Chains A and B, each alone.
Chain A
């Protein structure tokens, strides 16, 4: 079990969370970021990496993934620490007044201030609507592939028609005993190289492809033993398998934060626009996850919110002391050692 102690615990490593590190760093405050995704960037990386953004001040146009990379570079001097691929789960207030936050993997982070920059919530895999799918989670059903070695010499069924289904089928065709791909349509929408590679592997018999089909049932005593596949205009098919891996992308859910005792309005956290504080002293919410009168879900507004928020956070961390205000043009950037 890992433990961290920091000044500001930032939940969410999207643009707003990342920029908070910069503004906090100017005030010599150390930050630790937690994100449910294994990568930084939030929506920038997960939803629209290749889309140009036109309303970042000073950039006539910048690709979302470039903005994420630039932010990482900008905060480098302040040496933030990260816990990625773990979901913020529980928060408790310690007698010292600090908060202690536990992730779903039991990592603990202690901080006097918590900044929730959770965007749309945690990205979770889209789960197919198969009645008993939950019963087989971790017993043969995996939505995310963390360790491909797990599938060595196993029979696997992969469902989905996008890039991740294609890429993993290609990768696992070398490792698994048998790879069956199930796709609802006849054609694939992934990268053309991946589509043609899968075509080759189907030709050579390394992947079995079943199109116009959907997995509709799962069977097994204690662990998954077989899947039922419905096909358009054909008899259903039962396939014996060790694993069923549905890969239908990710969708955001507010998640456990909803139960932290914060005032919510339509799945967003209500804040005071003076400093973007929530109803719990020491917990702030910035970016897409907050709401107030006149709220606009824009990256540039999130940057502004982060900037004002750390001023208020400084007072909590330094018992009421006001932070000094200096332009970076005057003082430059001095990092955190």
Chain B
């Protein structure tokens, strides 16, 4: 299996380029936590806390948000048109090159 590269810009504007196997079965929130980036992931990935909000900076094509994700984004602050919840972004070969920035803490 090939490796994919995900770039995450933290809240201090430091860029972290992470190279990971494409088949780890992780989502972006879990990757952030495993990489010790400051993402709380309070609800554990149920799209219910919004602590993993990111802004998608690359033109990577992502699956559209589920109703749960849209409902959560409706409640959060600092939401932009490119906001997504990290926990709802599955890491696999199709999103190689994804670049995101962590949204401010709620």
Q: Apart from A184-B79, A248-B75, A251-B42, list 14 A-B contacts with CB within 8 A.
A: A43-B43, A47-B43, A47-B49, A48-B46, A48-B48, A120-B42, A126-B106, A129-B78, A161-B75, A184-B74, A189-B74, A189-B75, A252-B42, A297-B44
Bitwise, B40-84 to A at CB < 8 A (1) or not (0) is: 001110101111000000000000000000110011111100000
Question: What residues of B have a CB within 8 angstroms of the CB of A184 in the complex?
Answer: 74, 79
Question: What residues of A have a CB within 8 angstroms of the CB of B77 in the complex?
Answer: 126, 128-129, 248
Q: A47-B49, A128-B77, A161-B75 are in contact. Are A189 and B42 (CB under 8 A)?
A: no
Chain A interface residue count: which class?
Answer: 10 to 19
Which residues of B does A touch, CB under 8 Å? 42-44, 46, 48-51, 70-71, 74-79, 106
Q: Given B44, B46, B75, B78, which contacts A249 in the complex, CB threshold below 8 Å?
A: B75
* A-B pairs, 3 with minimum CB distance: A189-B71, A189-B74, A161-B74
Q: Is the interface of A mostly helix, strand, loop or mixed?
A: loop
Closest B residue to A129 by beta carbon equals B77
Tell me if A80 is interfacial: C-beta within 8 Å of chain B: no
Tell me if A12 is interfacial: C-beta within 8 Å of chain B: no
Interchain nearest-CB distance for A210 vs B (Å): 16
Max chain A Cβ within 10 angstroms of own Cβ: one of B46, B51, B75, B76: B75
Q: A47-B43, A120-B42, A297-B44 are in contact. Are A251 and B75 (CB under 8 A)?
A: no
The docked-state distance in angstroms from the alpha carbon of A185 to that of B71 is 11
Question: What residues of A have a CB within 8 angstroms of the CB of B48 in the complex?
Answer: 47-48
Interchain nearest-CB distance for B70 vs A (Å): 7
The docked-state distance in angstroms from the alpha carbon of A129 to that of B74 is 16
Q: Given A162, A185, A251, which contacts B49 in the complex, CB threshold below 8 Å?
A: A251
Closest A residue to B104 by beta carbon equals A129
Task: Scan residues 247-276 of chain A and give those whose CB is less than 8 A from a CB of chain B.
Answer: 248-249, 251-252
The docked-state distance in angstroms from the alpha carbon of A169 to that of B46 is 28
Closest B residue to A121 by beta carbon equals B42
Question: What residues of A have a CB within 8 angstroms of the CB of B79 in the complex?
Answer: 184
Tell me if A51 is interfacial: C-beta within 8 Å of chain B: yes
